[in-house]
Amino acid sequence: MKILLTLFAFFWAFAGGSAALAAEQQPVTYKPDITFTLRTSIADGKLVYIGDAGAIAGKVNPDLHVPSNAVVQINVINGDGAIHDIAVPEFGAKSDNITGKGSATAIVLRASKDGTFEYLCTLPGHKAAGMFGKLIVGDPKQAAPSNALDVSQDPTQVGTPVGKRGPQTHTVDLETTEVVGQLTNGSTYKYWTFNNKVPGPFIRVRVGDTVKVNLTNAKEAAHIHSVDFHAVTGPGGGAAVTQAAPGQTKSFTFKAMHPGLYVYHCATPMVAQHITNGMYGMILVEPEGGLSKVDREFYVMQGELYTAQKHGSQGLQEFSLEKLLDENPEHLMFNGTMSALTEKYKLQAKVGETVRIFFGVGGPNLASSFHVIGEIFDKVYKHASLTSPPLTNVQTTLVPPGGATMVEFKVDVPGNYLLVDHALSRVEKGLSGVLEVTGKEDHTIFHSTEKIDPASGH
């Protein structure tokens, strides 16, 4: 009934009140030029709309393309049982609320102007939680192709295990760069990086190894850069001798004396600015005899960006010193960008495999309560101490900025598992990742009569 009243109100305005009144004895019928059906759901830890039919079926927050001046109907089916609505504010269209799973509503509008407009759920917090998409009318002018780099770090790039070899000498070449990188779809940021990636390369050595570090600051850079390895015993962890001006190369050599998983970062004043812009990474110093064998290893680091623009803004995001000093980041991410571990590089494993995650916090300010939703860490090497007995059966582990941990767990049930900081409001600022587990179900471990939606994992 509410849908019918909404449609009647639209055509009263569309046809003109007096014309509708003159024809009140005649039934009002119409056929929209284009119809979309969306279903509310939860995907990758976010509230979303999912296309329910046609070309948008299964797509999360799909772009809705419509011709100029078309009459558009958008149907919404409640797929998760929470309260939702849908609106396109630019055209004054807003539905009623739907509250029960399976309930539905609709809006109808005339796409009277070309451009890109937002559709969203107007319930408090729902847009921030992910319920918004684009209504694209006509053929709006396409933005020039972005030349922004993909700075997100591949989590599978973990180097070669040392095994049972003896000490060796290694050379590590790092280049510091200042590049415009893609933060998320439609937005960019001027990152400062090691080797054009955030975090920088994962360095893997053995206790007793001799490591020569060559740090080159790109000639195009506008700032001095350096590197401080937490694994180094020496002045500034190497930073005291690697303050390199643009175009310069500085070098030093150190002996890896202590097993562990350590953060490295730029240590040029102001240090926090260099770190937040992306200048951090990790070095693993394996103990004698190496680490135990596992099936999958992943490299994940958490970071923060402090921008003048609000989270979700389009275009180039500019650094905000004020927000940095207030420790109020607009964006948080794993491996450099908003979608690094949810779209670009989802972690993947198979049922029965043992997963190891090398996890660190670049920061520069916020600690992480690292958690994988739906899993329990079989082993946690607290503070990344590889020579201490690991903790067992841990739900969430605390990692300070500039700190690290190593966790291991066997995956027993197929599905999508979210990597989060359990300070969960940070998910709304971009901090989430996905571990996809495939394989045979074991109903003795987990069984549900509820059908799982493969698009959402729910």
Give binding residues for Cu cation as ranges: 225, 230, 265-266, 274, 279, 422
Tokens of 88: 């396109």
Cis omega before residue 257 (within 30°)? Answer: no
Tokens of 31: 């056929």
Q: 42: part of which helix (H) or strand (E)?
A: strand 34-43
CA distances (Å), 410 to each of 141, 357, 382, in order? 49, 12, 18
Give the residue carrying structure tokens 């190891």.
356
Q: Rounded to whole angstroms, how far apart are CA atoms 183 and 175?
A: 21
Q: Is residue 151 classed as helix, strand or coil in its secondary structure? A: coil
Please state the φ and ψ torsions of residue 302, each to the nearest 5 degrees.
Answer: -100, 140
For every residue of 52-92, DSSP letters joined together read -SGGGTT-BS--EEE-TT-EEEEEEE-SSSS-B--EEGGGT
* Exposure b/e, 409-438, CB count within 10 A at least 16 = b: bebbbbbbbbbbbeeeebbbbbbbbbbebe
Q: Rounded to whole angstroms, how far apart are CA atoms 134 and 360?
A: 35
Residues annotated in the binding site, as ranges? 225, 230, 265-266, 274, 279, 422
Identity of the amino acid at 182? Q
Q: Is residue 341 classed as helix, strand or coil in its secondary structure? A: helix
Q: Rounded to whole angstroms, how far apart are CA atoms 153 and 299?
A: 8
Backbone CA torsion sign across 111, 117, 119, 120: negative
Please state the φ and ψ torsions of residue 7, each to the nearest 5 degrees.
Answer: -65, -40
Rama region for 256: left / alpha / beta (φ>0; ψ in -120 to 50; rest) = beta
Reference 39, options 93, 101, 92; nearest CA is 101
Identity of the amino acid at 110? R
Under 8 Å between Cβ of 225 and 231: no
